[in-house]
Amino acid sequence: MLNFEFCNPVHLVFGKNVVARLAELLPPEIRIMMLYGGGSIKKNGAYDQTMAALQERDVIEFGGIEPNPHYETCMRAVDIIRRENVGFLVAVGGGSVIDAAKFIAVAALFPRSKDPWDILSATVPPTAALPLGCILTLPATGSEMNCNAVISRLSSREKLAFGNPLVYPKFAIIDPQFSFTLPERQTANGIVDAMIHVFEQYLTYPAAAPLQDYMAEGILKTLIATGPYVMEHPHDYDARANVCWCSTMALNGLIACGVPQDWATHMLGHELTALYQLDHARTLAIVLPALWRYQRRNKAEKLLRYGREVWGIEHDQPDEAIEATIAATEKFFHRLKVPTHLADYRINAEEAATEIRRRFADRGTVLGENNDIGADAAYEIIRRC
């Protein structure tokens, strides 16, 4: 097992009607900005419950945060925060709203003489952040219980990530009932996103960490068993609760302890989103099978274990077992109505691969648990998509 440190300070409140706890989780006498997206929280009850819990507080609303939140939108919120002396952020929504809140929290206190985009593009670490909390309405990204965020910039067609302990939410409120009204597409996207978060930490190479492996496999098995059911029974509380908890556990740092991590699927997926505006989870479903096939030798031991422990795939020929495992994963994504090829979106794979190779070469990007995915490897992987 690799050396590791683990600290997750997020106060998690999970269950039915727990938004009523919001007021007691906030510091007293501080101006609050409530951030949300396109208005779905006004349909699923989250907005009314949040405002009821905040009725005695000084609140400024900021809506309109996009999926794959835009830097430009975040900076409009920063301007208001600086002008109105906001002291605490409450994000109500899915991962995009929570990611935006994290970036806004550090950008608001970033030196005014500098461009906050440098936090992402030049990996300049922030030194301060506004405190924030979140109310989750869309399980997918795990952003409610980690310190990572991904932001897009329209002007440069870039989608970049940062992580910093300063932006761990002070609290996360999860009421699975808010996910009852999610469109089928968003439910499927969330399941795929959570699964691939697990794969990025689990499907690398053995590190003598059986507990982490079993925990990862438990999350995957639960999502595989529950995912199709919840698509057909969207108002089943227990099914929704299990999807919510799996999504949180997939990326709160616990299964990453002492094991190597990959994240190449995510970084390549971010490029596809930036170039073609595809849903984040859908880019991951496209990249993952191609990346596994390209890396099948380096990932062979874990691919074989995953196939055996999760799908029950046993075969005398390792290559055939690996291919059956990848095919089973693709079949599951298809069962959720999530395509796995660029052609399904009328995107030319050669064109996408060429542009991503150029971007990786310009930035000197190297990815993967073995640091062996550079510009040429990225080209080969995307070409196979």
Q: What percent of the chain has pLDDT over 70?
A: 100
Q: Taking Cα atoms as reference points, which of 289, 37, 374 lies closest to residue 182? A: 37
The answer to whether residue 124 scores a pLDDT higher than 90 is no
Residue 156 predicted with pLDDT over 90: no
Spell out the SS3 assignment of the chain: CCCCCCCCCCEEEECCCHHHHHHHHCCCCCCEEEECCCCHHHCCCHHHHHHHHCCCCCEEEECCCCCCCEHHHHHHHHHHHHHHCCCEEEEEECHHHHHHHHHHHHHCCCCCCCCCCHHHHCCCCCCCCCCEEEEECCCCCCHHHCCEEEEEECCCCEEEEEECHHHCCCEEEECHHHHCCCCHHHHHHHHHHHHHHHHHHHCCCCCCCHHHHHHHHHHHHHHHHHHHHHHHCCCCHHHHHHHHHHHHHHCCCCCCCCCCCCCHHHHHHHHHHHHHCCCHHHHHHHHHHHHHHHCCCCCHHHHHHHHHHHHCCCCCCHHHHHHHHHHHHHHHHHHCCCCCCHHHHCCCHHHHHHHHHHHHHHHCCCECCCCCECHHHHHHHHHCC
pLDDT at 305: 97
Query: What confidence category does residue 312 fall into, taking pLDDT thresholds of 50, 70 and 90?
Result: very high
Query: Does the pLDDT of residue 175 top 90, yes or no?
Result: yes
pLDDT at residue 66, rounded to an integer:
94
Q: How confident is the model at residue 342 (pLDDT cuts 50, 70, 90)?
A: very high
| Topology annotation, domain 184-383 | Dehydroquinate synthase-like, alpha domain (1.20.1090)
Average pLDDT over residues 340-346: 97
Sign of CA dihedral 210, 214, 215, 220: positive
User: Distance between CA atoms of 36 and 94, rounded to whole angstroms?
Assistant: 9
Residue 112: its pLDDT value, please? 87
pLDDT digits 0-9 by tens, 233-259: 999 999 999 999 999 999 999 999 999
Same fold, 11-178 and 184-383: no
When pLDDT is cut at 50, 70 and 90, the band that residue 38 belongs to is: confident
299 close to 203: Cβ distance less than 8 angstroms = yes
Whether the predicted pLDDT of 315 surpasses 90: no
177-187 tens-digit pLDDT: 999 999 999 99
- Longest Cα–Cα distance of the chain, Å, equals 67
User: 160 forms bridges with which residues in the sheet?
Assistant: 151
pTM score, whole prediction:
0.94
42 versus 350: the higher-pLDDT residue is 350
Residue 367 sits at φ, ψ, to 5 deg, of: -125, 175
pLDDT above 90 for 349: yes
The label of the residue with tokens 């059986």 reads 210
Kindly tell me if the per-residue pLDDT of 364 is higher than 90: yes
Q: Residues 194-209: pLDDT tens digits?
A: 999 999 999 999 999 9
Within 13 Å and on the Cβ side, how many CA atoms surround 223? 34
What's the whole-number average pLDDT of the chain?
96
**Distance in angstroms (rounded) separating the CA atoms of residues 15 and 240:** 11
| Residue 5 in this model has a pLDDT that exceeds 90 | yes
Which long-range contacts does 288-291 make (Cβ < 8 Å, 24+ apart)? 288/196, 288/199, 288/329, 288/340, 289/326, 289/329, 289/330, 289/340, 290/381, 290/382, 290/384, 290/385, 291/264, 291/265, 291/381
Q: Considering the domain delimited by 11-178, tell me its CATH architecture.
A: 3-Layer(aba) Sandwich (3.40)
Q: Count Cβ atoms below 10 Å from residue 98 Cβ, excluding itself.
A: 32
Signed CA dihedral, 295, 298, 304, 306: sign only: negative
Q: In this predicted structure, what is the pLDDT of residue 334?
A: 98
- Given a cut of 90, is residue 37 above it in pLDDT? yes
pLDDT in tens, 61-75: 999 999 989 999 999
- Whether the predicted pLDDT of 383 surpasses 90: yes
Q: Per-residue confidence at 122, pLDDT binned at 50, 70, 90?
A: confident
Domain layout of the chain by residue ranges: 11-178, 184-383
